[in-house]
Amino acid sequence: MGSKTNGAVSKRNSAAEKARDARIKLYRDRDARDARVEAAAAEVFTAQDELTAADEALAAVKAAAAATIAAAESDHRAAIESGEAAVSAALRKLTAEKLTATEIAELTSLVPADVRRLTKTVPAGSQASGKADAPETSPAADSPGAAQTAKVDAPPLPVAV
């Protein structure tokens, strides 16, 4: 009977050894799988960080571009106002010579409406006292006594090409 017992113990030991080997192999497979899962998750986090950095970089560029555009628009408005003031002053010289809006328009390649608008505009330096001066009148006005007032937010002067 002892040999049967030894054979049973031997079979049990062999089965336990097989089970231990299978468990070790399973753990090795699990460890390898866990390492692959961790590596893939790390790649996701790295890619997400890159996406966030790209979004932040784009936002910074857009902010800088918006500031540049705002500054350019401000400079453009200032240049337009300055240019129109110079044109207006020169047109006033022509109206002082008793030229009509139509004659000035033909002479300067401007449309008569722009000549009228620019000769009605009050020059920036004419209100230094803080009081509004009486509206200027122009000899180019078609009807006598027509109310002449300063224009605000008028469209920019067209440039002849």
Per-residue pLDDT tens digits for 102-152: 999 999 999 999 999 998 865 555 443 334 444 444 444 444 444 444 444
Does residue 138 lie within any of the structural domains? no
Q: What is the pLDDT of residues 40-57, one digit of tens each?
A: 999 999 999 999 999 999
Does residue 124 lie within any of the structural domains? no
Does residue 25 lie within any of the structural domains? yes
Does residue 74 lie within any of the structural domains? yes
Give φ, ψ of 20 to 5 degrees. Answer: -65, -40
Q: What is the pLDDT of residues 20-29, one digit of tens each?
A: 888 888 788 8
- Among 88, 84, 108, which residue's Cα sits nearest to residue 96? 88
Which domain covers residue 80, as residue numbers?
7-119
| pTM, to two decimals | 0.48
d(CA 139, CA 120): 10
Does residue 31 lie within any of the structural domains? yes
Number of domains in the chain: 1
Does residue 141 lie within any of the structural domains? no
